[in-house]
Amino acid sequence: MEKIIRKSAPLKGELFVAPDKSISHRAVIFSSLAKGEGIVRNFLQANDTLSTCDCMRQLGISIEEKDSILIICGKGLGGLKEPKTILDCGNSGTTIRLLSGLLASQPFFSVLSGDESLNARPMKRVIHPLSTMGADILARDDNSYPPLAIRGKLLKGIDYRLPVASAQLKSALILAALNAQDETILHEKEKSRDHTERMLAAMGADIESSELTIRIRPGIELMPQEFMVPGDISSAAFFLVAAAIVPGSELLIKNVGINPSRAGIIEVLKAMGAKIKVVNQRFFAGEEVADILVSSSELKAVELDGEIIPRLIDELPVLAVAMAVADGESSVRGAGELRVKETDRIAAVSSELARMGVQIKELDDGFIVQGNPDLLRGNPVNSHGDHRIAMSLAIAALRAEGETRIGGAEAVSISFPGFWSTLAQITETAP
Ligand code: S3P
């Protein structure tokens, strides 16, 4: 599907973004492991999270949907059953990585696979520590890529230093640890999103976390919860940047999760000179939530590296758009993980923004952007089948001269199926 986006007049109004993808996946998986009926309100109905629901159903879990609320009949930590066929994780890295950790300790055989993009994503980072715990996992290309064949076993605890800042890896190991014979201690390199730790603690798991260390003791049954999923800051990011870069704009984005391990984008946009106010801050089911008011301003360049990177890893493609209109040279380093996302996001963002006139240079672990709003022009571009690339290009198009044709626009349905209609609701073609 192709979408045509034209230079926009000022963006005005109030909007809600898609519910949080990371929390939605976890709410379904963790509720399936609790004993009793769990409820998930404001669940994200998008391709990735529906892949998780399909997999959990095949593992014997009943998931009902009533008025956009999920009701999940949890069967306890040992209550899953052997799936009769391959578990299809679609495009979802979170599904395949979290389930590999979970299934490694279940007393049955299972196979996890996905689409072409998912089956090219690295799994050694998960398979290696799980194997050290005693797991029996085989994968394609010297145990590197999906499909994964798992023969579940009783696992032992591990004391492990994670070589990459990855919440998917951390969560896979935490899930394995819940069912292991003894204690597990994980040490993170840099802090990655901590929804797993927060949600499992709320469910009664014996899990303690300090800044970079997590300790899990196994054997405690989880209590079902009523989860309320906030809006996804990674989806709000597109509108934060849109309002910041389209002159005269003012948007109020309501009900957004601002967990500090996810909110790096707010800090960075503020450092670039964006006008952002976080209002109506509240706590909901262990997660900070707020409304975010953002209006346009002149942006200045920024250099990103180090501990901030995992706290805005999914927002870097759209931050490249903000950098393209900022005054001066911006850079992103230490973000080599972008090369192993749904597509190689360093290559994709560099080639597609270059087609729109942006001066952007690829680095091994990031990119350098020479900001100049006058260079941005509409052109045919492509999402590379990646939801966040499609949405980032749409935001660049709002500020580009002429019209931008975005190929592969259907990719947004992975995380934000309502993106195109939400965008239409707040934009107007510039006169
Ligand atoms: C996610 C973790 C991040 C992120 C992904 C969702 C999660 O991936 O990019 O979109 O829900 O745990 P990594 O763990 O690979 O950094």
The answer, yes or no, to whether any atom of ligand 1 lies below 6 A from the CB of 314, is yes
* Ligand 1, pocket-test mutation among 234, 313, 319, 340, most atoms within 8 A of CB: 313
Element containing residue 175 per DSSP (H, E): helix 167-178
Rounded to whole angstroms, the Cα distance separating 289 from 279 reads 9
Rounded to whole angstroms, the Cα distance separating 162 from 319 reads 27
pLDDT in tens, 284-314: 878 999 999 999 999 999 999 999 999 999 9
**Could you tell me the distance, in angstroms and rounded to a whole number, from the CA of residue 311 to the centre of ligand 1?**
10
115 given a catalytic annotation: no
pLDDT value at residue 118? 98
8 A C-beta contact, residue 229 and residue 38: no
pLDDT in tens, 132-170: 999 999 999 999 999 999 999 999 999 999 999 999 999
**Could you tell me the distance, in angstroms and rounded to a whole number, from the CA of residue 185 to the centre of ligand 1?**
20
Active-site option among 314, 364, 374, 386: 314
pLDDT in tens, 182-211: 999 999 999 999 999 999 999 999 999 998
8 A C-beta contact, residue 205 and residue 178: yes
Average pLDDT over residues 329-349: 98
Identify the sign of the CA torsion 49, 52, 56, 57. positive
Same CATH topology for 2-19+230-426 and 21-228?
yes
The pLDDT of residue 431 is above 80: no
pLDDT value at residue 400? 98
On whether the 2-19+230-426 domain is CATH 3.40.50.150, my answer is: no
Atom 11 in ligand 1: residue holding the nearest Cα: 22
* Ligand 1, pocket-test mutation among 125, 166, 174, 311, most atoms within 8 A of CB: 166
Burial 403-421 (b: 16+ CB within 10 A, else e): ebbbbbbbbbbbbbbbbbe
Burial 91-112 (b: 16+ CB within 10 A, else e): bbbbbbbbbbbbbbbbeeebbb
**Could you tell me the distance, in angstroms and rounded to a whole number, from the CA of residue 247 to the centre of ligand 1?**
32
Rounded to whole angstroms, the Cα distance separating 84 from 246 reads 52
Token code pair at residue 328: 């001066």
Ligand 1 closest atom vs CA 166: 14
**Using alpha carbons only, what angle is made at residue 125 by residues 84 and 165, rounded to the nearest 5 degrees?**
120
* Ligand 1, pocket-test mutation among 94, 338, 345, most atoms within 8 A of CB: 94
Rounded to whole angstroms, the Cα distance separating 276 from 245 reads 12
| Strand-pair partners of 408 | none
8 A C-beta contact, residue 107 and residue 177: no
At 115, is the secondary structure helix, strand, or coil? coil
Please return the burial class of 184, using the count of CB atoms within 10 Å of its CB with bins 0-12, 13-18 and 19+.
buried
If you average pLDDT over every residue of the chain, what do you get?
97
Packing angle, helices 21-33 and 47-58, rounded to 10:
10
The answer for residues whose C-beta is within 8 angstroms of residue 167's C-beta and 6 or more apart is 22, 192, 193, 194, 195, 196, 310
| Strand-pair partners of 134 | none
Q: Which of 179, 191, 175, 139 is nearest to 310 (CA)?
A: 191
**Could you tell me the distance, in angstroms and rounded to a whole number, from the CA of residue 357 to the centre of ligand 1?**
30
Strand pairing report for 35-41 and 69-75: antiparallel
| Percent of the chain's residues with pLDDT above 90 | 97
Domain ranges in the chain are 2-19+230-426, 21-228
State the Rg of the chain over Cα.
21
At 329, is the secondary structure helix, strand, or coil? strand
pLDDT value at residue 285? 77
Q: How many residues does this entry show for the chain? A: 431
Atom 16 in ligand 1: residue holding the nearest Cα: 166
8 A C-beta contact, residue 234 and residue 415: yes
**Could you tell me the distance, in angstroms and rounded to a whole number, from the CA of residue 410 to the centre of ligand 1?**
21
Q: Which of 420, 418, 371, 428 is nearest to 398 (CA)?
A: 428
Rounded to whole angstroms, the Cα distance separating 106 from 24 reads 23
CATH superfamily of 21-228: Enolpyruvate transferase domain (3.65.10.10)
Token code pair at residue 257: 């999760």
Q: Which of 12, 40, 424 is nearest to 230 (CA)?
A: 40
pLDDT in tens, 64-102: 998 779 999 999 999 999 999 999 999 999 999 999 999
Average pLDDT over residues 174-187: 98
pLDDT band at 429 (very low <50, low <70, confident <90, very high): confident
